[in-house]
A and B are shown apart, each in its own frame.
Chain A
Amino acid sequence: MVALSERMSLSTMQTIRRAPKTTFDPLFRWASVASALLVLLVLAGILGSMVYGGWPAFREFGFGFITSSVWSVGKGEFGAWVAIAGTLTSALIALVIGVPISIGIAIFLTQLCPPWLKRPVSTTVELLAAVPSIIYGMWGLFVFAPLFARYVQVPVSSLVEGMPILGTILYARVPSGVGLLTAGIILAIMIIPFIASITRDILDQIPTILRESAYGIGCTTWEVVRHVLLPQAGVSIIGAVMLGLGRALGETMAVTFVIGNANRLSLSLFDPSSTIASRIANEFNEASDLHFNALLALGCILFLVTFAVLVLARLLIARVRNR
């Protein structure tokens, strides 16, 4: 031992331990930080370009931009209300239809599913999420819309014709299968896989002992779900729902196919309308001057709304994780 340390002087020890490459390490660290900052920059860039591009429209129309439902390219007058209303309504319909189904699927997967069926059903849910949105659009327009027109729009319209409230909301002036309700249904199908898989993960994370104790005192599955699982997962499920909402608000291609592209306000769910995303997709390539700014202003509004929804979702889900 003593001989060894005598034989190896400090300098030889240093040379035996090869000096670390001093240039690569800081470079690598710098590259990592830079990449991470790039992510921040991109978000800032998106927000910045939307605000900058949309500013002339906001300045021109003021707050009235959000409330006006006039969208006239010829006259140069733009109002975002029809697009905003269409976006919110279709997203709301998607939630009303999609959330119960998603939770139902999640409960099935975690509580009721026999083990041999779990893998196929999970794969089905994942595959539903992987299908590109343009395919949903094609299915919606070419397969679903004609059936919807014939078997839902026409009978319902003739049923509610003349009735006070329903006669306006559910009346199809031109029953062609496309419209706000159709878009909402397609959106529902698209967000189901997302909400279902997140809810399933949340339900799986609930400690088994809570479930077992409930079963142990004789609860039926329904009571376990209602009194134990859902309250425990409650806030997180709302977070999952908000994530689905975020997706529904921003969905473009599927909606563009089935919403009918009308720029006017209509009170009927069966009438064609438009959403912010479908409006931009349809009109951006031909927009110039104030029209261009108005579309970017629409994008800005969409971004802020989606941002708010996503922030809320994250806060809700994070709270449970930290508990």
Chain B
Amino acid sequence: MKFLSFAFAAGLAASALATPAVAVDITGAGATFPFPVYAKWAEAYKKETGNGLNYQSIGSGGGIKQIQAKTVDFGATDAPLKGADLDKHGLLQFPTVMGGVVPVVNISGVGAGQLKLTGEVLADIFQGKIAKWSDARIAKLNEGVKLPDAPITPVYRSDASGTTNVFTTYLAQVSKSWEADLGAGTAVSWPVGQGGKGNEGVAATVKQVPNAIGYVEYAYAKQNDIPFALLQNRAGKFPVPGDKSFQAAAANADWTAAPGFGISLTEQAGDEAWPITAPTFILVHKTAEKPEQTAEVLKFFDWAYKSGDKLASDLDYVPLPDNVVKLVQAAWAKEIKDKSGQPVFKQ
């Protein structure tokens, strides 16, 4: 008897030690594209408020599925849902940051920003039409760069990915054969190469396999010192990826052009614009079944809009411009209600 009560008390003490006193924890899942910045925000937010965010980066497809199944408090995706899908599932979609997708390579002797490619060449590499790094079309763009006579290993996303959606949207725009054969989407039938899970998996695989090429969100290339390649944009220039070129691409965005702010920023005009820039989105239910959880989700992103800008730009993500933040918050106040009709977000 004594032992039991001791064990019970010890168990209580342990669980008390393990969790902070009055913390609200929210769960989110989805896109790996913004995972680096969401993770940094979550750490800072926890330090400041004691509330935790458990974000599982399982890919945009996973984010969409989990929020539809109501197994998480919010879903994250870079592939924006169309108006019809948003209405069908009763979801509200809003953007958080913008980032850029960059091609990354693992070629010995080639450093960051040394390899130049055009959209068409990139599309042909991933279609298997260009098989070796010594191919004439690559050499033409890269005079003076020593490229090995080795087969190229393309690395793509094995899971349903918003990053793939952005990347293939771009490729479909710049290559007719890509648009005809493969199209754009969160998962396409890659004809050649190897699959990695998440942005993390692609980055890790490219880092490990010699002569590989993959596509990742820029923060992954920067954080892990993986050399990226330069791409020719619509103006014919080769901008260096980074928050400046992502911002240049986002400068002329018309955020009301699509329902749920779901616009695309690839192949934007401008000398400095990075051709594969994209916003990333959050999905929440318009009718909050657990209002305290949803309120906490909105509080977290409100905090991120106000105090998270520096953390985001440190990782070369582009924070949303203020006028867009206002539009988003107006949408929160108007659309997200609990079961009795009361709005959940208090400005």
Contacts and interface: CB of A to CB of B under 8 A. Distances in A.
Given A72-B187, A74-B187, A272 B195 contact: yes
A82 to B, nearest CB: 11
A176 B58 contact: no
B65 A176 contact: no
Contacts of A146: 208
B185 A174 contact: no
B262 to A, nearest CB: 17
A260 B191 CA distance: 13
B61 interface: yes
Interface string B243-262: 00000000000000000000
B212 interface: yes
Contacts of B192: 173-174
B158 interface: yes
Nearest to A179: B194
A264 interface: yes
Given A74-B185, A174-B151, A263-B189, A287 B65 contact: yes
A262 B193 CA distance: 8
B66 A285 contact: yes
Contacts of B61: 73, 286-288
A283 to B, nearest CB: 6
Contacts of A173: 131, 151, 192
Contacts of B66: 285
B59 interface: yes
Interface residues of A, number: 25
Given A286-B61, A286-B65, A264 B189 contact: yes
Nearest to A272: B194
A262 B158 CA distance: 7
B: interface residue count bin: 35 or more
Contact of B58 (A71, A72, A74, A286): A286
B65 A261 contact: no
A165 to B, nearest CB: 21
Contacts of A260: 194-195
Interface string A247-288: 000000000000011111000000010000000001101111
Interface in B43-76: 58-66, 68-69
Contact of A178 (B60, B191, B194): B194
B58 A261 contact: no
Contacts of A292: 65
A76 to B, nearest CB: 11
Given A264-B189, A292-B65, 16 more contacts: A71-B189, A73-B187, A74-B187, A74-B188, A173-B192, A262-B194, A264-B190, A282-B158, A282-B159, A285-B65, A285-B66, A286-B60, A286-B64, A287-B61, A287-B65, A288-B61
14 contacts: A70-B189, A72-B188, A73-B61, A73-B160, A74-B188, A146-B208, A173-B151, A173-B192, A174-B152, A174-B194, A262-B158, A282-B158, A286-B62, A286-B64
Nearest 7 Cβ contacts at the A-B interface: A286-B61, A261-B195, A286-B62, A74-B185, A261-B158, A174-B153, A73-B187
